[in-house]
Structure formats: structure tokens, C-alpha cells
Amino acid sequence: MRKTGAIAVKEFRQIGRDRRRLFILLFVPAFLLLLYGYALNFDIRNVTLAVEDQDRSTESRELVSAFVNSGYFQLVAAVETDEEIVRLIDRNVVRAALVVPADFGRDAANGRPTSVQVIIDGDNANTATTVMGYVQSIVGSASAQYELRARALPSGRPIAAARLQGPLVVLEPRVWYNPELRSALFLIPGLIAYILMITAVVSTALSIVREKEMGTMEQVRMSPIGPLAYVVGKTVPYFALSLLSCMGIVVLSMALFGLPMRGGWLMLLAAVSLFLIGTLALGLFISTLADTQQVAFQLALLLSYLPTLMLSGFIFPISSMPAFLQLVTYIVPARYFLSALRGIVLKGVGLEMVWRDLAALVVFGAAIVALASLRLKREWT
């Protein structure tokens, strides 16, 4: 224990002298959170819209106002012909176009079935799907208002009685944990896992390699320090600084992006601690494989950046991946940490709901610490 403490104190002193490493551990995570937190956003706003209003009635103007006032669409052009719509879409001036037919106002006022056309630029399939959902919601709300008006008409006016019966089943959706469907609440937990994974692995991956390049590793081998004590001593300083940095990121996310904290802080500390142990040990294991800091940095990015981004459920749902890739995700620690983090922060779940994820992090951390120790022991013998 005394030897491990001595290694930890020595590493703390080296980190204090190396301002670049200290900057990476404490300030780069906050910078990445600000950069990606504002840049990554699945909420599509200000969709450029062109309108071809062939009716020019009160009802058609109300429909156009519903699009503009929704906050999703920005009216940039009023056109007279279909050719103008094609030209605007081809030039990427507008992404959607609303075409209101000539008899729209009269039919809507009298309760007769009518329709409008919305043309959407589909060069980006994800954006087009989202815009289509916005359109369906706005048109559905406007249709309900027209039906209410038609029901209130005097009995002498022609009314499509069958249409005014109203639907037999009314959908009343309730969205839990994120009622506003803000993509930030989905992305921020993933960003926390992504930032911690990269900074922790990279910082520790360079530590032992630096000892090799400076020639001090031979002195460590000759000292009465076992591989496990050396690995633990190397990990403790980075664990403390990374934990402090993570808590700062969480508080910053709550202040800037409205991230809730519905669960317990102790549960959050436990999940973060287990994740950090595994990621820091992974960095140490990489440092035992590499002989130069350049190689260590490349391996750290390869083993942390791509798996966390692509295979953790950060952006792409695991259930939508091919079967063989779903099997690969079981060895990605960010998968379990992200599941536990979203459950604790967004849903406020307890240990009974996240214990499997925490157990997986324990197994991963223990396995990587053992591998790093064995690898280091083989080098020393």
C-alpha cells in the first residue's frame, strides 16, 4: 500500500509539472462538451419553406401561419408556379414547399374533405423524415380546428356529416422523461461517456510510454515494486482528476443544457467510478503495448474513439445494427455506462435497474487491470 501511494504521489507531481496533461484532464472535457453539445443536435429548426397559395383565403393563410408559427419552418419564398418550386429546391434555397389548392378554403369551411401538398427535399433522408413528421402534426392540428368550426355552422349550410362524426379512437400521446423530445437530453449523456473515454484512455496511455522514452522504466524495474502496485499507483491520480472533471461536466450540462438529475448522486458517482477504472486501465494496457507516444496515441484513439462513437448506442441504436455487430457491442464498456447514466440522470432509477450494467463495468475493469498487470509483469521479467 505504501509503494502504491508513493507511485501515486510521484505521478501527481509529474502531472502538476506537465501543464499540457493537466489541461487535457481538466479543461479539454469541458471544451468538448461545449463544442459537441451545441454542434450535435438532432432537433431540426428553421426549415426553409416556400408557399404556393392558389386559394388566398382566410383558411389558407391560417394554414401558412400554422407552419411559420410552429417554430420549425421559416418562410423564405412565395411562389406562383410549380416550376419555381423545382428551381428553389434544386438550388437548395428551400427544403420544403407547401402547395394549397384553389378550393381549399371553401372546402375546409364547409367540412368537405380536402388536401394540401407538401414537397420535401429528400437528399437527406433523416432530415426529410423529421420534416415529414412536423408537417403531419401541423396539418393534423389545423384539420381538427376546421372540423370544430364546421360542426358549429348553422344547420342550413352543407356539411359532410360523415366526416364530422369524429374519429372513434383519439390518440393522446404521453412522452416520459423527455416530454419536449429535446435531442440534447439524448446526446449529453452520450457525450459525457464519449469525452471521458477519450481523455481517460489517452492520458494514461501516454504515461508508461513516457517512462520508456525517458529511460526511467529501467529504474522502476529494479525497484521493489510489483506490477499491480505500479499499475494502481499510476491509475489513482488520473482517476481523481477524471472524476473531478466528470462532475464538472455534469454540473455544466445541467446549467447550459438543462440536463436533469432525477437519480441519486451517489449512484452516479458509483457508475462514473467503475467506468473510469476500466478506461484508465485500458489506457495503461495500451501503454504496455506501445514503445512510442505516437503509437500509444493512435492505439488509444482506435480503441476508444470509434467503439464509443459507433457501438455504444451513443448515436446509433444497437438494436438497429446487424447481429454480428450487436455481439461486438458487448465488449464496449461505454455501452453499459451509457445505459446506466441515462437511467440514473433521466429516469431516476435505482440500483435494482442498473445493477447489470454496473456489474458489467466491474467485470470489464477487473479484466483490463489484470491484463495490464500481466503484460507489465511479462515486460519486467
Q: How many domains would you assign to the chain?
A: 2
Mean per-residue pLDDT of the chain: 80
The reply to whether 54 falls in a domain is yes
Give the lowest-confidence range in 17-26, 181-190, 300-309: 17-26
Instruction: Indicate if the pLDDT at residue 177 is higher than 90.
Output: no
Closest by CA to 332, choosing from 374, 283, 376, 279, is: 279
331 residue type, one letter: I
Please classify residue 148 by burial: count the beta carbons closer than 10 Å to its beta carbon, then call 0-12 exposed, 13-18 middle and 19+ buried. Answer: exposed
Q: Are residues 237 and 352 in the same domain?
A: yes
Q: Are residues 219 and 320 in the same domain?
A: yes
Q: Are residues 109 and 190 in the same domain?
A: no
Q: Are residues 132 and 243 in the same domain?
A: no
The reply to whether 66 falls in a domain is yes
Q: Are residues 249 and 349 in the same domain?
A: yes
Give the lowest-confidence range in 30-34, 148-152, 259-263, 273-277: 148-152
The reply to whether 355 falls in a domain is yes
| Pairing verdict, β 47-53 and 73-78 | parallel
Q: Are residues 33 and 55 in the same domain?
A: no
In this predicted model, which residue has the larger pLDDT, 35 or 366? Answer: 366
Q: With bands split at pLDDT 50, 70 and 90, how would you rate the model's confidence at 42?
A: low
The reply to whether 174 falls in a domain is no
User: From CA 85, how far away is CA 93, in angstroms rounded?
Assistant: 10
What pTM value is reported for the model? 0.72
Residues in CB range of 157: below 8 A, 6 or more apart: 110
Q: With bands split at pLDDT 50, 70 and 90, how would you rate the model's confidence at 310?
A: confident
The C-alpha cell of 7 is what?
Answer: 507511485
Three-class HEC string of the chain: CHHHHHHHHHHHHHHHHCHHHHHHHHCHHHHHHHHHHHHCCCCCCCEEEEEEECCCCHHHHHHHHHHHHCCCEEEEEECCCHHHHHHHHHCCCCCEEEEECCCHHHHHHCCCCCCCEEEECCCCHHHHHHHHHHHHHHHHHHHHHHHHHHHCCCCCCCCCCCHHHCCCCCCCCCCCCCCCCCHHHHHHHHHHHHHHHHHHHHHHHHHHHHHHHHCCHHHHHHCCCCHHHHHHHHHHHHHHHHHHHHHHHHHHHHHHHCCCCCCCHHHHHHHHHHHHHHHHHHHHHHHHHCCCHHHHHHHHHHHHHHHHHHCCCCCCCHHHCCHHHHHHHHHCHHHHHHHHHHHHHHHCCCHHHHHHHHHHHHHHHHHHHHHHHHHHHHHHC
Polymer length in residues for the chain: 381
- Residues of the domain holding 318: 2-40+182-380
Count of beta carbons in the 10 Å neighbourhood of residue 260 = 14
Q: Are residues 127 and 265 in the same domain?
A: no
- pLDDT (mean) for 35-48: 74
* Residue 163: per-residue pLDDT: 46
Q: Are residues 230 and 87 in the same domain?
A: no
Instruction: Indicate if the pLDDT at residue 180 is higher than 80.
Output: no
In this predicted model, which residue has the larger pLDDT, 165 or 309? Answer: 309
- pLDDT (mean) for 210-235: 69
* Residue 218: per-residue pLDDT: 62
